[in-house]
Structure 1
């Protein structure tokens, strides 16, 4: 999966989670900028794992703290 496909599919995951499109930015923090709480994160991870067919392990969760870090994670695991 190339970078453009990853970004497009990640955008769809954020939209499914209820994030408004105007606040989705690569520099946006999931908790501070997108206001994702634990329930939102659970839904987000479910959609992320389903759409990208990846497994996010518990030790990798702290690394997914922004849109950019999520893109980096997916580029490493979906290439």
Structure 2
């Protein structure tokens, strides 16, 4: 079962054409390392990484929630 908030990630970061297109600003997250996803979310949350909407989204999750989402999303097919 998906942790709270995780299922919404696939709307932009799913396996659809826009997310998996080479050079896309919106990467597919499936198969990525959970640590990389977690680090990106933390960077968005703190402002170390530029964002259009991810900074606001990342601020809505605790470190524990972010990690649970990262693990779940990385394992999706």
TM-score normalized by the length of structure 1: 0.31
Higher relative contact order (CA 8 A, sep 6+): 1
Q: Give the structure-2-normalised TM-score.
A: 0.31
Report the structure, 1 or 2, having the larger helix content: 1
